[in-house]
Structure 1
Amino acid sequence: MNGVEKPTLTDSNVETPVLDARAHAPRHIAFNRPFMTGRELHYISQAHAGGHLAGDGPFTDRCHAWLEASTGAPKALLTHSCTAALEMAGLLLNIAPGDEVIVPSFTFVSTANAFVLRGAVPVFVDVRPDTLNIDETLVEAAISPRTKAIVPVHYAGVGCEMDTLMAIAGRFGLSVVEDAAQAVMARYKGKPLGSIGHLGAYSFHETKNVICGEGGALIVNNPMYSQNAEIIREKGTDRSQFFRGEVDKYTWRLPGSSFLPSELTAAFLWAQLEAATMLTSRRLERWARYHDLLQGMEQRGLLRRPIVPEHCEHNAHMYYVLVAPGIDRQSVLARLKASGVDAVFHYVPLHSSPRGQQAGRMHGDLRVTEDVSSRLIRLPLWIGLDDSMQNYVVSSLEEALTKG
């Protein structure tokens, strides 16, 4: 760009583990280490030199173009978080007090909160025991005359059964908002996750595969929402149309807010998007190695490995295991921590939370959600995690699972 040589990709930002000479094993393995390609600061300096630091500058344009090309969506808009993208979806769908939105209980709070902010009631549906995604066979029975939308969450970057969900939505005149926070670069039957529903939401938080610290994107798959999405994102004004010369002045059109990220954030993200294929490939290598190493423990009945249906191409967002029933997960996590391995649990089901009990309602008993949420452990997974570190994680996990 502009004759300036771009830095090459490097692992120099990945900390070399301090080895314990006695045990010949790392003293500490972090759950996550954000990876930088080496171009991020270069692009940020270009944004600074160009004098455009607020949102919607040249780097934002590049990110939008990349997202639109990779998803096939007519419109993609960067936001300051995936939460913001979901909140925009609530505004675009005109969610109003008393409306109902069908969501899994096994998800992050933003999936429900974005619609609760509009006065909606989240209807919590159980998840499948294999993928831990919303159980599509339970959705239709959860629909009421107040239902406005279905919000599937692609857990661990593995696609929900979108064909079934879209067919249900079509029969009942509902909208589908894909919470694809964990699913950048993943596919369902060849289609990019986030591109199948009427709207999709991505996350670029530092814990995700492609990052910019804090950030997200709204993927607008139904063109009828494109113009209003721009307006809502710009505080409810037609400012974007003004800058394109489509109106002679801009003014307040719709309820909205400031959902834009800064151009510095977009510059950082652009470096990551350029390397998205490489980042995904390297994570998939680490994921596959865990899968091989843990096969024996699964065969012994100590745990269950992730299940990825053949028609789903996941992105190695995380590697989790479900410890066998009867094994105390908290004891396992404590033993891993004592060994220097940062393994963590995941969601506390929303239906069991104080706010979830007040704001939502359950459809059915959600027994799978309650079971898997009590047994799930996420293992360290990041670019730079090497074979010896993975070996240590797996051996520490085996010791923690079998220790009396």
Structure 2
Amino acid sequence: MLHGTIPFSRLNTTGKELQYLSQAIESGNIAGDGAFTKRCQNWLKDYLGCQKVLLTNSCTAALEMAAILADIQPGDEVIMPSYTFVSTANAVVLRGGVPVFVDIRPDTLNLDEAKVEAAITSKTKAISPVHYAGVGCEMDAIVGIAKQYGLTVVEDAAQGAFAQYKGQPLGTFGNLAAFSFHATKNIVAGEGGALVINDPELVERAEIIWEKGTNRSKFFRGEVDKYTWVDVGSSFLPSELTAAFLYAQLEQSEAITQQRLRLWARYHLAFASLEFEQIAQRPKIPANCQHNAHIYYLLVDSLATRTHVLKYLKDNGVTATFHYVPLHSAPAGQKFGRTSGEMTVTDDFSDRIVRLPMSANMTLSEVDRVISLVFEALDVQVTVGNTTHQDYRQRQPVFRAASGVVA
């Protein structure tokens, strides 16, 4: 019997979204670049310590702006993981560029920095590392390679908001970075994103591209007496309604992140026995990274096991999923991009990953139910010390105390 469905992702609101939406409407200005847009941009700029932040209508839009700012021309190559969402590559392809797919690391599922240099050719223009699951790539190595070869770094930090690498926020290492506030992310605005500009030389042009290729921002600052079309650009601004919703989320971003981390830790501790018996691999978080609990996943032993686990969870009212079809194997990836080296880890892990429900407003009983169903789906006897997985329900108080989740 189903108890109640548990969605893969559930909207988590802070209580001020409607208030701020009303304020935006009452202001009479719901177009982009209004008061809430500026509040969000200033908030993010202060948090990140970057040169400039521009809100966008999606992370896809931010990546497309970044490709323009990186001056991607027809034939230019951009190195990226194959294990990423299509927008990472589409932004390059739309400029006539060529995505160059590199394999991922077997611990973090991030771009394997040890394989980047071998992918560089005379056509290489940029590197686009993707911070998978909010775990930072090895940015010291990637930035070092980029400097050595004169390449632009565009961080795809769609999943990386409020995560850190060596104590520094993700999105502040590259020349440019893109964040997502899509409804499935930790901090949401329905749709929405942000372009982070860390290179001061790119700030002025970023504003122009953001404003449809005009110098409108200069005009409103009184720097020119009229504004006109001066460069390429598009309508990348979000509405004030999107920004108002986002601002309520940003104000509570620390609390949201901490709650997700507590739930993530609960999953992680519960599944230690599966990893101990080599039945499933848990996420690996390097010591120099502070993740943001964007995703909790398990790597099971085969595609068949993955298919069975997902079906079992679905049959019991829980929505879990896998992630990307690797871009190098997708029809468009084969048409527009190329690979560098073998894709062994990418091909293997993309068949075996199981992504479990994660929302800041999940209840303890929901998390515990997902955990129990995973154990049931795997149908294994797991003994660690004197305890088996069938004893999980009796051990819930132990997990609760260890994970720091308050019932």
**TM-score normalised by the shorter chain: which range applies?**
over 0.9
Match status 1:34 vs 2:11: yes
Query: Equivalents in 2 of 1:299, 1:266: separation in Å?
Result: 45
CA contact (8 A) 1:29 1:389 kept: yes
Trace 1:54-65 onto structure 2 (pairs within 5 A): 54-65=31-42
Match status 1:51 vs 2:36: no
Name which of 98, 120, 124 aligns with 1:147: 124
Query: Equivalents in 2 of 1:303, 1:96: separation in Å?
Result: 43
Moved more, 70-79 or 291-300: 291-300
Query: Secondary structure at 2:105's aligned position in 1?
Result: coil
Match status 1:182 vs 2:159: yes
What residue number does 2:310 align with?
Answer: 333
CA contact (8 A) 1:26 1:389 kept: no
Trace 1:70-109 onto structure 2 (pairs within 5 A): 70-109=47-86
What residue number does 1:67 align with?
Answer: 44
Query: Secondary structure at 1:178's aligned position in 2?
Result: strand
What residue number does 1:233 align with?
Answer: 210
What residue number does 2:170 align with?
Answer: 193
Residue 313 (structure 1) shift: 0.4
Residue 26 (structure 1) shift: 3.0
Query: Equivalents in 2 of 1:355, 1:401: separation in Å?
Result: 35
- Across the two proteins, how many residue pairs are aligned to each other? 381
CA contact (8 A) 2:58 2:192 kept: yes
Residue 326 (structure 1) shift: 7.1
CA contact (8 A) 1:177 1:200 kept: yes
Query: Equivalents in 2 of 1:95, 1:385: separation in Å?
Result: 42
Q: Which amino acid aligns with 1:319?
A: Y
What residue number does 2:259 align with?
Answer: 282
Residue 351 (structure 1) shift: 0.2
Trace 1:200-239 onto structure 2 (pairs within 5 A): 200-239=177-216
What residue number does 1:7 align with?
Answer: none
CA contact (8 A) 2:268 2:282 kept: yes
Residues 228-283 of structure 1: per-residue CA shift (max 9 Å, x gap): 00000100000011111111000111110000000111011000000000110110
Q: Which amino acid aligns with 2:190?
A: G
Query: Equivalents in 1 of 2:273, 2:167: separation in Å?
Result: 31
Residues 23-72 of structure 1: per-residue CA shift (max 9 Å, x gap): xx733111110111010110010011111110011111110111101111
Residue 325 (structure 1) shift: 3.9
Residue 327 (structure 1) shift: 4.9
Residue 180 (structure 1) shift: 0.2
CA contact (8 A) 1:327 1:401 kept: no
Residues 328-350 of structure 1: per-residue CA shift (max 9 Å, x gap): 31122111111111110000000
Q: Identify if the C-alpha distance between structure 1 residues 30 and 326 changes in structure 2 by more than 3 Å, giving closer, same or farther.
A: closer
Match status 1:117 vs 2:94: yes
Residues 178-199 of structure 1: per-residue CA shift (max 9 Å, x gap): 0000010000001100011000
Match status 1:173 vs 2:150: yes
Trace 1:290-305 onto structure 2 (pairs within 5 A): 290-305=267-282
Moved more, 158-167 or 333-342: 333-342
Trace 1:131-146 onto structure 2 (pairs within 5 A): 131-146=108-123
Q: Which amino acid aligns with 1:99?
A: D
Match status 1:399 vs 2:376: yes
Name which of 324, 344, 359 aligns with 1:367: 344
Q: Which amino acid aligns with 2:228?
A: T
Query: Equivalents in 1 of 2:342, 2:115: separation in Å?
Result: 11
Query: Moved runs in structure 1, 4+ residues, more than 3 A?
Result: none
Query: Equivalents in 1 of 2:44, 2:303: separation in Å?
Result: 44
How well do the aligned residues superpose, as a CA RMSD in angstroms?
1.2
What residue number does 2:390 align with?
Answer: none
Q: Which amino acid aligns with 2:4?
A: R
Query: Equivalents in 2 of 1:271, 1:194: separation in Å?
Result: 21
CA contact (8 A) 2:303 2:351 kept: no
Query: Equivalents in 2 of 1:327, 1:300: separation in Å?
Result: 19
Q: Which amino acid aligns with 2:75?
A: G
- Structure 2 stretches of 5 or more lacking a match? 382-407
Q: Which amino acid aligns with 2:300?
A: V
Query: Equivalents in 2 of 1:26, 1:192: separation in Å?
Result: 40
What residue number does 1:11 align with?
Answer: none
Match status 1:264 vs 2:249: no
Q: Which amino acid aligns with 1:263?
A: E
Residue 388 (structure 1) shift: 1.5
Q: Which amino acid aligns with 2:251?
A: E
Query: Equivalents in 1 of 2:268, 2:237: separation in Å?
Result: 39
TM-score with structure 2 setting the length: 0.92
Query: Equivalents in 2 of 1:137, 1:344: separation in Å?
Result: 29
TM-score with structure 1 setting the length: 0.93
Query: Equivalents in 2 of 1:264, 1:392: separation in Å?
Result: 36
